[in-house]
């Protein structure tokens, strides 16, 4: 037991990094001053992105618009993962707009908030989306019409075959 008692060394407790209450209050006040405006700065980034997207989408005319709408429909329905990576890293306005739309469809709250903060942008984007949906419905009608024509042609061929086999 005596050996065990000798093996322990008793040192005085040394405190490191103690801060007085005054110093702690001072540090918190400095941190508060640094934090002022950070949220606004972060909001500006998304507000700018929303404004650029709406401006880009609004500038598309006729064939460019139709091509972009078709591309975005494929992209937003899953699309090619390599294309997704390329779009995310691209600096092109069209690709940035596509990335923004993808973020909205996936539910990025910061992008939704940017549109909520600016009702004009929100309405302009909603108008563009309605126009895009009309374009997609027109494309669907064309495809449906082709399917119906093919079915009608198949029915006619089958009817002719029956007549030929009955004769």
Residue 103 pLDDT: 87
Interhelix angle for 119-166 vs 62-76, to 10°?
80
- CB atoms near residue 141 (< 10 Å): 10
Provide the H-helix boundaries in 60-118: 62-76, 81-89, 93-105, 109-117
How far apart are the C-alpha atoms of 56 and 96, rounded to whole Å? 9
Per-residue pLDDT for the chain (167 aa), expressed as one digit of tens each? 566 666 666 777 676 777 788 889 999 998 888 888 777 777 888 899 999 999 999 999 889 998 988 888 888 888 778 887 888 888 899 999 998 898 888 888 888 888 898 899 999 999 988 998 998 898 888 889 999 999 999 999 998 888 888 87
Predicted TM-score (pTM) of the model is: 0.62
Number of residues in the chain = 167
Residue 52 pLDDT: 93
How far apart are the C-alpha atoms of 156 and 153, rounded to whole Å? 5
Handedness of CA 103, 108, 114, 118 (dihedral sign): positive
How far apart are the C-alpha atoms of 99 and 68, rounded to whole Å? 12
Phi, psi of 27 (to 5 degrees): -65, -40
Residue 77 pLDDT: 83
């Amino acid at each position: 037991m005596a050996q065990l008692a000798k093996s322990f060394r008793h040192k005085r407790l040394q405190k490191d990094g103690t801060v007085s209450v005054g110093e702690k209050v001072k540090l918190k006040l400095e941190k508060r001053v640094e934090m002022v405006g950070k949220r606004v700065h972060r909001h500006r980034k998304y507000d700018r992105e929303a404004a650029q997207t709406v401006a880009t989408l609004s500038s598309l005319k006729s064939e460019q618009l139709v091509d972009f709408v078709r591309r975005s429909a494929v992209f937003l329905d899953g699309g090619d993962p390599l294309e997704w990576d390329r779009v995310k890293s691209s600096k092109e306005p069209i690709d940035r707009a596509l990335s923004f739309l993808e973020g909205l469809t996936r539910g990025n709250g910061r992008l939704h908030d940017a549109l909520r903060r600016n009702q004009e942008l929100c309405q302009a984007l909603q108008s563009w989306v309605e126009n895009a949906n009309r374009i997609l419905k027109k494309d669907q009608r064309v495809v449906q019409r082709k399917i119906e024509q093919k079915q009608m042609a198949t029915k006619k061929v089958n009817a002719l075959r029956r007549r030929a086999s009955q004769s």
